[in-house]
Structure 1
Amino acid sequence: MKRIVTLIAGALALAATPAAAEKLKPDVAEAKAIELKNIVSGKAKIDPAKAYIYIKSPQNRAQGIFLKTPSPEEIANYETKWREEFAEAKADYPKDLKRYEVAKQAGRPPKEKPVEPTEESFAIDPIDLRMIVSFGPQFVFDKTEAPEKSFSYLIEVEPGEYTYLGPIMYLPGTPVFGTCFCMGSVKFQAKAGQITSLGDFLSQGWADREALEMATIEREMLADRPAKPTDWSVPESLAQYPNAKAELRAAGKRNNFLRALVGRLPPVPGVLGYDRDVPIDLVGLSGTVEVETPAATQPAEPVAAPPAPTPAPVQ
């Protein structure tokens, strides 16, 4: 009887735990690949509460990484995790130091003496590692055969802002392959209940040789080809669902936390430019400058032309 009372008391205590003490959402960005065959069979469906990113790759399979911009809840969870691990490191320090001193007295000290962790020096893995959304080369949504051979991908994600990190192959614990667009890329909003189409943009067919030369040091290997417009359309199998072209904006520099080869996306007309190594948001410069006119009761004076807007680095 006493055991039953104890169990009931424990259950009531758990039920009374404030909601604020619970994690508001998972620690990592949620994403999964959708395949056309599963939509047709009913195993998968388009969820109006989720967002979807569509990618088309001409001729070959593709792979890449997007980074979700963390929400306030995700940042709060990350800060909670930091505090938990910092507390553990502080608690472990006296034991680690004692083991070091014992080993030193025995004539076989470890190479490095433990250092007491402080809030300024302690760090955990960057939050970007929790925000990775990858696609390809497996789990193709659909493919078409020659002569217009292509592979497409559809990713179910949480609504939010996503930055294209580059054509990177990443599996935790394995070497990273590909190039990180750490020095400049694009970002876009993926809205709930909508398929946001990147079309074949990531294949960079829109970039001519001159644009490609601004994003690589291996210029001798570049093909001398003209640029062609991006195909933003979605296939007929997805046309019945709400869909829209991705509204791209420039994305600024970021840390190479995956330790991949560093590069950048070629300049995108009307979206992304560069001032040497500084990414410039061309969308933000496209607006007109309004000039305040003198009041009607004041004498009219010549109005100087407004200065041209100064490009600002992308954040």
Structure 2
Amino acid sequence: MIRILTLGAVALSLAAAPLSAKSKDVVFVTSAAVKDKPVVALDKAQAYILMRSDMATTLQLMKVPSAEDQAAYDQMRADAFAEAREKYVKKLASYERTKKLADSLKKKGSGSTVTVPEKPIEPTETNFEFTAFGLLSGVSIGPINRFAKQEGGASVYLQAVTPGVYRIYGPMSVVPNGPVMGTCLCMGSVSFEARAGEIADMGTLLVKPEGVATEAEGIRSLNFQLVPATADMAVDARLKDVAIRPAAYRPIGKLPNYYGIEVGRIAAMPGVIGYDRDRIVDLTATGGARN
């Protein structure tokens, strides 16, 4: 069953602190679909992600923070925490003044009353909530703005992104100020690198393949299959002068269900990712496993 949650509800559930004006200047990811035009000019400073699918579909990626990203994010959080502390001090002072006045009037029996607000909760490192990095670094691919259309509804997408490592977060539709629909691959997924001036070829996303397991140890594996790129996969002639590398997939750990939608995991991929009950098994290593 697909669950739907508005972005407004997501924001409320996260209770994310407002970013300061300084923090708002930090942009972790820029992203834009490369549209279907006779001639394509790509920016060498950008990285590109190529995805084929057997039907028009949508996929959500999230950038994995680099060391620089993490440092910037930590500073954003620190700034927001300091701002929250400043507001708390002011609210606490106002609360104490109001409470003192109310107590005084009650003691004098003047008959006048003052409404005392709830005592503000002090922000601490434990209870302070801040927007997760993944929600600041999302990339939505599809279902519109296809780079090419093929027979039988098959689609090709080409997305310009900030260079870096990206994880597949799930087949979901994330519409700004609209509903979020789909499934989060929170319990197991893969990541790959997108390099500046190159195209990372994700291969083909089969949304309706046959023979893919749907249940394993109580954890849902989705009814789609990611087939990595191979040398014999056709490449659009408009991209013949661009370096295209098959995405080198690696297993990546679990993530929270930020949008409150259905939870699953990517189907096992030979030589890349498998599962031992609820553990993710790294098949690119020598039998290594991690949660």
**When the two structures are superposed, what TM-score results if normalisation uses the length of structure 2?**
0.76
Among 161, 167, 186, which residue is 1:182 paired with?
186
Q: Measure the CA separation in 1 of the matches of 2:85 and 2:253.
A: 36
Match of 1:165 in 2: 169
Aligned to 2:142, which of 136, 150, 161? Answer: 136
Query: Counterpart of 2:47?
Result: 51
Structure 2: 5+ residue stretches without partners? 1-21, 103-112
For 1:1-315, what aligned pairs fall within 5 Å after superposition?
26-37=26-37, 40=39, 45-58=41-54, 60-101=55-96, 102=98, 105=102, 106=113, 108-110=115-117, 112-144=118-150, 146=151, 148-200=152-204, 202-203=205-206, 208-214=210-216, 232=230, 233=233, 234-285=235-286, 309=287, 311-313=288-290
**Structure number having the greater strand percentage:** 2
SS across alignment from 2:92: helix
| Partner SS, residue 53 of structure 1 | strand
Task: Pick 1 or 2: higher relative contact order, CA cutoff 8 A, min separation 6.
Answer: 2
Provide closer, same or farther for how the CA distance between residues 120 and 245 of structure 1 changes in structure 2, counting only shifts above 3 A: same
Q: 1:259: how far off?
A: 1.9
* Secondary structure, counterpart of 2:200 in structure 1: strand
Q: Deviations over 1:222-260 (max 9, x none)?
A: 79xxx9966653323223321121111111211112222
* Conserved 8 A contact 1:216-1:263: no
Quote the residue 1:306 is aligned against: none
Compared with structure 1, are the counterparts of its residues 231 and 149 closer, same or farther at alpha carbon in structure 2 (3 Å cutoff)?
Answer: farther
Residues 215 and 266, structure 1, Cα contact 8 Å, conserved in 2:
no
User: What does residue 6 of structure 1 align with?
Assistant: none
**Length-normalised TM-score, structure 1:** 0.71
Q: CA RMSD in A?
A: 3.1
Question: Which residue identity is paired with 2:125?
Answer: E
Report the 3-state secondary structure (helix = DSSP H, G, I; strand = E; otherwise coil) of the residue aligned with 1:36.
Answer: coil
Change (3 A) 1:277 1:229: closer
Q: Label 1:31 to 1:239 Cα distance change in 2 as closer, same or farther (>3 A).
A: same
- 1:75/1:222 Cα in 2 relative to 1: closer, same or farther (>3 Å)? closer
Partner SS, residue 176 of structure 1: strand
Q: Which runs of 5+ in 1 are unaligned?
A: 1-21, 286-308
Query: Contact conserved, 1:56 with 1:150, CA < 8 A, in 2?
Result: yes
Per the alignment, residue 303 of structure 1 pairs with none
Q: Secondary structure at the match of 1:96?
A: helix
Q: CA deviation at 1:73?
A: 2.2
Q: C-alpha displacement at 1:313, in angstroms?
A: 0.8
Number of aligned residue pairs: 254
Contact 1:67 1:131 in 2 (8 A): yes
Q: 1:208 to 1:178 in 2, by over 3 A?
A: same
Instruction: Kindly state the Cα deviation for residue 165 of structure 1 after the two structures are TM-superposed.
Output: 0.4
Judge conservation of contact 1:197–1:245 (CA < 8 Å) in 2.
yes
Q: Percent identity between the aligned chains?
A: 35
Q: Which residue is 2:8 aligned to? A: none
Larger gyration radius, structure 1 or structure 2: 1
